[in-house]
Amino acid sequence: MLEDHCCLVPRVLPSSCEQDCKIIYTNYRLFEVSNGKRPLEDNGEEEFGLRKSSKLMDVHESEETTTQTLQLLSLFPVDQSDNQSDSGDQSDLSSLIQPIGRDISINCLLSCSRSDYGSLASLNRSFCSLIRSGELYRLRRKMGVIEHWVYFACQLLEWEAFDPIRRRWMHLPRMASNECFKCSDKESLAIGTELLVFGKEVTSHVIYRYSILTNSWSSGMTMNAPRCLFGSASLGEVAILAGGCDSQGNILRSAELYNSETGTWETLPCMNKPRKMCSGVFMDGKFYVIGGIGGSNSNLLTCGEEYNLETRTWREIPNMFPERSRAIRGTEASAAAVAPPLVAVVNNELYAANYSEKEVKKYDKERILWVTVGGLPERAVSMNGWGLAFRACGDRLIVIGGQRASGGGIIELNSWVPSEGLPEWKLLARKHSGGFVYNCAVMGC
């Protein structure tokens, strides 16, 4: 069975283990591991590969090769003491792949796609403990090895994940909550290895947390100042949430920082203006909150605010809200009936979706104005912006949406790489679904 295979682990190895991993002996035969990157196979269609300017693993290996890799890994002898001890200490992880040791084993695992981590965890208790500890994801982040998955809900309380590399759909466990939370306004945020969903139960705010390490939901986390309808964004293992409403409906100007590694909330200095139904992004290492509703008359705010994490100060920026479309300006729809700005950042450039005109705009930082660069996908349907997702996914922008029908609908995922020129949207996937995206978040880890 092993005669035709010459690679045990993914081909791209960190420099620290390149020489040690060139030749690996097993009980079965000698395997030679290549130093160079394996060229991408031309399968006749556009691959949704996530490009990384720094260190990047070869996540485009075929599923057949990946399956063979996992099968070969399962043949390696491991320290069987981990099956006889219930201490749960680090000694259980002392030997993952015996011939090469724990450190080089981990370096090799860092080069695997995280789609394979579930299969790796099933090999034995040592692999399972390592993956559930989150150590691999922390090391990947330090190395700049990141895969982006899209998480969204087209049905209340039911979340799905989409792996754009393998183009696989996955169902998350159903959220266990009451009817009040089910029908409340909800925000979502992906940070580190967690997906947070914010909502309300009867008289109090609640946060549900999904962990990719355990594939389960939990609740009980609380902010320093619970809120809803806020603007938020994440960067690595931290996220900032700004503005929103408290349980009495008061519009806030306070902000908080959440650290997913420590599970702690830190109160930040307040913004210059209170606002709700705003959007948040990270750009050039700073956090921006854009648009929203504020003031005594709940007016639409056209300004944005920039938070400098080093100086811990806010700076107001005029005209940072994308101009409202002619169709919206011509109606009597209240500001609250319109969705928060659909904005996303790719390569430190800010983009916005003008859902009414079906346009994509780019923010000119120097001139502080928005410039139209092209159109949205044909099926980018929304209700004043609601039901449509516009997100950054690595070096791409993605649009998730579809058309609703009495018997359901069809949801489509389209992507565009801004660095390749003007918008040319490519269809990643489509499936029968509700056709209305209630919440969406992109997790990069």
Encode pLDDT of 386-440 as tens digits.
999 999 999 999 999 887 666 667 889 999 999 999 999 999 999 887 778 999 9
Q: What's the token pair of residue 428?
A: 């990643």
Pinpoint the alpha helices (H) of 134-255: 135-143, 179-183
Q: Which amino acid is at 104?
A: I
Provide mean pLDDT across the span 87-106: 65
Encode pLDDT of 43-88 as tens digits.
333 333 333 333 333 444 445 545 555 555 555 554 444 444 444 4
Task: Judge whether 380 and 401 are in contact, CB under 8 Å.
Answer: yes
Would you call 398 helix, strand, or coil by DSSP? strand
Query: Residue 27: is its pLDDT beyond 50?
Result: no
Q: For the ranges 107-111, 145-149, 365-369, which has the lowest average pLDDT? A: 107-111
- The whole-number pLDDT of residue 20 equals 36
Q: Taken in order 232, 233, 234, 239, is the CA torsion positive or negative?
A: negative
Provide the CA 270 distance to its chain's centre, in angstroms: 27
Question: Torsion angle, CA of 257/261/264/265, rounded to 10 degrees?
Answer: 10
Burial (CB count <10 Å: 0-12, 13-18, 19+), residue 27: exposed
Secondary structure element (H or E) that encloses residue 153, with its range = strand 148-155
Cα–Cα distances in angstroms (integers) from residue 87 to residues 15, 92, 124, 129, 361, in the given order: 34, 8, 16, 12, 56
Whether this prediction's pTM lies above 0.85 is answered by: no
pLDDT band at 351 (very low <50, low <70, confident <90, very high): very high
Q: Which domains does the chain have, with CATH numbers?
A: 15-38+48-143 (no CATH), 148-173+341-445 (no CATH), 177-321 (2.120.10.80)
Q: Which residue in 384, 394, 379, 305 sits closest to 346, CA to CA?
A: 394
Pinpoint the alpha helices (H) of 134-184: 135-143, 179-183
- How open is the CA angle 368-372-376, to the nearest 5 degrees? 130
Would you call 346 helix, strand, or coil by DSSP? strand
- The whole-number pLDDT of residue 204 equals 86
Q: What's the token pair of residue 324?
A: 């409202």
Query: Which residue matches tokens 């895969």?
Result: 147
Residues 63, 65: Cα–Cα separation, whole Å = 5
Q: Which residue has the higher pLDDT, 314 or 57?
A: 314
Q: For the ranges 328-337, 369-378, 410-419, which has the lowest average pLDDT? A: 328-337
Q: What's the token pair of residue 105?
A: 């084993």
Query: Residue 214: is its pLDDT beyond 80?
Result: yes
Residues 165, 427: Cα–Cα separation, whole Å = 13
